[in-house]
Amino acid sequence: MRVLQATGVPGHARAYCFKSGVLIGTLFLRQSGKLLAETDPLVESLSRETLIPSCWGRYVGFFSDATSQSVVRDPAGQLPCFHRQSGGLHVYFSDPEDLLSLELLRPVINWRYLAANLTVPELVIRETGLTGITELLPGEGHRLSGTGLETETWWDPAQISRTASLEGFEEAAERMQQTVRDCVTAWASVYAKVIHNLSGGLDSAIVLACLPPAEKLTVTCLNYRTAASDGDERIFARLAAVQADRELIEIAMPETSAFASLLANHPLTMAPEGSVFGTPTQICECNIAQARGAEAFLSGEGGDHLFYQMPTALIAADYARAHGLTSALFRVMHDVAVWTGEPYSSVLKTTLLEGLRRRPRGAQPREDRDAFPYLRADVREAIPPDYMTHPWLKTAARLPPGKAYQIAALSKVLHRHETSPRSEVADLIHPLLSQPLLEFVLKTPSYILARGGQGRALARAAFRGAVPREILTRRSKGGTMRHFARMAEENFETARAFLLEGILVEQDLIDRQGLRDYLTISRLQRPETIPRFFKLLATEAWLRSWERSGARTGTGARP
């Protein structure tokens, strides 16, 4: 086994060498949150079995003993890890361009994956967009021995959710605050200067409130605004920056004139990435980071999923499973009905069937049926539902349904790879997506996280006083949906021609007439259409990039 690490590039990935192998990444001790140095005596005793229970961070570990070799990816999945087998050689890598430069990759498009990716809003499976290349999912490992390759699960959120949970709201709030502070402080200890994306929402404000004082860490906050009414959060970002006594830079998101260039320059990744359309904004961030000497970009990514900003009647079902038919259950159902806007009868039905009767929740992912007008029916029907199912959903099927729903959401946010100019300048760190906080929320019932039918109820209580009151009491949040809707409208004819004359149509994955009927300006007025539209564009742009690199697309492709 040989492990190669890139040097002379931005990033703080360390090489921890120990008796049974090597680990690439950043490690913190579980109990203290202390950053482990490569020469720390504790490193020598690391093993495949002790790694996840005793440490956390972002890493890929390689282990060897007398009978086998193993590869383990950290539970938060903050470092990608892909696998390709060529004869008796197993190659693990984070960037496919490394394999291209070493002539270890002859790319062939995985059409079944692409069809599934257009069918499911956020597809998370082991396969990738290239045939023969798979991904180790967060918390998974490979063991290679004389009998072949075996996939192992080293961290299972369903199993963690079944352990003892906190029912006391105040105690849970206190522990949440401490856990968040410990995770943010640990990541902050790695760097001297950082850029923090301060959106004006609660999650990024919480991260900012937990960062060390200025004498220990230099923080520059960035806030972006768009011309749309939902895209200006400056008033809230200013409140958070003033309370934390940090510098705030306010930037107008760049105009959409570079649209054609974005379509022509999708990076060579393992799957299409919608983040490519945010490249102009990311370049602005890079310029600021380089001018300030920043070593990392921080964000509040993942807060919606961790803190439970997901209105659903399943919360009442969870309460019913835990406490049965009590007077308090009716209050919970009322709160949930108000939060979700569902009729009380619908909430009652969900509570009875999935709560009191404990009907198992299906493990299949939700398909995007509105995508069907342009995806060929025979292509869609050729994809087995089980193919599109994340392994976590199978083990979570018999959990309380609100917790299973949260695990499904977490599986998606932990899989949002971003290949962007920012990663060439500094580390991309999402402090909330850290193993200790993931495990805390998995052990906390959904009706505690969202008590009273209020999204992020526990997080709001945990950071009362630390975050400006105006942010804590917000019930809405801004976004960039209208900015991208405007981008789509201004570049509609270019985008339409790009798709109708593209590889997806040529390879018969997309029905040309169905796509022509679907692509109308009036349809772009619907908010739910925008993510689908850009996903389709990203898929076509990704295919063209790989075709230019020599990828084999085949003829008359079918899953």
Task: List domains and CATH numbers for the chain.
Answer: 14-155 (3.60.20.10), 160-303+416-472 (3.40.50.620), 314-412 (no CATH), 483-548 (no CATH)
Which DSSP state fits 464? B
Q: How far apart are the C-alpha atoms of 220 and 297, rounded to whole Å?
A: 10
45: nearest Cα among 73, 11, 21, 13? 21
Burial 369-407 (b: 16+ CB within 10 A, else e): eebbebbbeebbeebeeeebbbbbbebbbebbbbbbbbb
The shares of helix, strand and coil residues in the chain, as percent rounded to the nearest 5, are 45, 15, 40
Quick one: pLDDT at residue 13?
Answer: 81
Element (H, E) at 539: helix 529-548
- Dihedral sign of CA atoms 170, 172, 176, 179 in order: positive
Q: How far apart are the C-alpha atoms of 232 and 478, rounded to whole Å?
A: 7
Q: What is the CA radius of gyration of the chain?
A: 24
Quick one: pLDDT at residue 477?
Answer: 75
Quick one: pLDDT at residue 117?
Answer: 93
Quick one: pLDDT at residue 10?
Answer: 62
Q: How far apart are the C-alpha atoms of 220 and 243, rounded to whole Å?
A: 14
Quick one: pLDDT at residue 364?
Answer: 65
CB count within 10 Å of CB 119 equals: 21
CB count within 10 Å of CB 238 equals: 17
Q: How far apart are the C-alpha atoms of 513 and 501, rounded to whole Å?
A: 12
Q: How far apart are the C-alpha atoms of 401 and 314, rounded to whole Å?
A: 6
What does the pLDDT profile of the chain (559 residues) look like in tens digits? 999 887 766 666 899 999 899 999 999 999 899 999 999 999 998 999 999 999 999 999 999 999 999 999 999 998 999 999 988 899 999 989 888 888 888 899 999 999 999 988 889 999 999 999 999 999 999 999 989 999 999 999 999 999 877 889 999 999 999 999 999 999 999 999 999 999 999 999 999 999 999 999 999 999 998 877 667 899 999 999 999 999 999 998 877 667 888 899 999 999 999 888 888 889 999 999 999 999 999 999 999 999 999 999 999 999 999 999 999 999 999 999 999 999 999 999 999 999 998 887 766 676 665 666 788 888 888 889 899 999 999 899 889 999 999 999 999 999 988 787 898 899 999 999 999 999 999 999 999 999 999 999 999 999 999 999 999 998 877 777 888 888 888 899 999 999 999 999 999 999 899 899 888 888 888 888 888 899 999 999 999 999 998 877 665 455 6
